Amino acid sequence: NAGVTQTPKFQVLKTGQSMTLQCAQDMNHNSMYWYRQDPGMGLRLIYYSASEGTTDKGEVPNGYNVSRLNKREFSLRLESAAPSQTSVYFCASNPGAGANVLTFGAGSRLTVL
Amino acid sequence: GIQVEQSPPDLILQEGANSTLRCNFSDSVNNLQWFHQNPWGQLINLFYIPSGTKQNGRLSATTVATERYSLLYISSSQTTDSGVYFCAVGYAQGGKLIFGQGTELSVKP
C-alpha cells in the first residue's frame, strides 16, 4: 500500500522556470493538501482540495496554482519560480469530513537559484 | 486566524527520561492532531485528539478543549523518539489544519 506518493523528491530550478509537483494517493481519500515547510516556521498550508472538483487557498497561496485532476491526484504548479519558493513541499490527504487523520507523503525538496 | 503555540521549542533528554510537550491554541477547534517528524523528514500521525485522553504505548495525549491546550507525554524516552513534534489544529470543514512551529526533541543515549 503506497499511501501518498510525491514526485519528484528533489528538484533544482533557476529563477523564472516553471515546474509541477505531482501527488497521488491510493487510499480513496476525498481531501488533499499541499504544505510547505521552511526552517523554524512549521508547515504552512498552500492550497487544499476538500473533494474532487474543488480547490481552495490556504495560508500562503501566492505564486502557486493547483489542479485536482481526479480523486487520486492533486498537483502543485509554480509558474515562475522565485528563490523565496525554496522549501520542502509536502502533500497530504485524509478521508474527509468526520475522519480527519492526515497522511503525508515523503516530501519534495525544491531549490530555486 | 487561529494561532498555535508549542512549547518548549527544543528539548534535550537522556534516554529513559519522561517529557511533556504543550500546544496552546487561540480559538475553538474541532480537530487536533499530533505528528512526529523523524530526522529523515517523514511526518507520522501520532494522535487525532480534539478532546479527551488517548494512549499508544509510551506516548499519550490529552486535550482540554475548553481551556484551549493539548499535552503530549513521552515516557521512558528512546533515541528513536528524536525529531520534531508538531501540533496541528483545525476548525473548518474539509479537515484543513494549521500547524504550530514544533518542538525539537533530542534523546541522548
A104 touching chain B per CB within 8 A: yes
Sequence-separated (6 or more) residues with CB below 8 Å from residue B78 = B15, B58, B107
| Residue B56 touches chain A, beta carbons under 8 Å | no
For residue B1, the chain A residue with the least C-alpha distance is: A59
State the smallest CA–CA distance between residue B44 and chain A in angstroms: 7
Kindly report the nearest CA distance between residue B4 and chain A, in angstroms.
Answer: 10
- Cβ <8 Å between B1 and A59: yes
* DSSP structure class, residue B76: S
Write out the three cell numbers for A107: 516530501
Q: What angle do CA B91, B93, A86 make, to 5 degrees?
A: 75
pLDDT tens, B52-75?
999 999 999 999 999 999 999 999
In this complex, do B88 and A102 lie within 8 Å of one another by their Cβ atoms? Answer: yes
* pLDDT, one tens digit for every residue, chain A (113 residues): 679 999 999 999 999 999 999 999 999 999 999 999 998 778 999 999 988 889 999 999 999 999 998 999 999 999 999 999 999 999 999 887 666 788 999 999 999 99
State which residue of chain B sits closest to A40, comparing Cα positions: B101
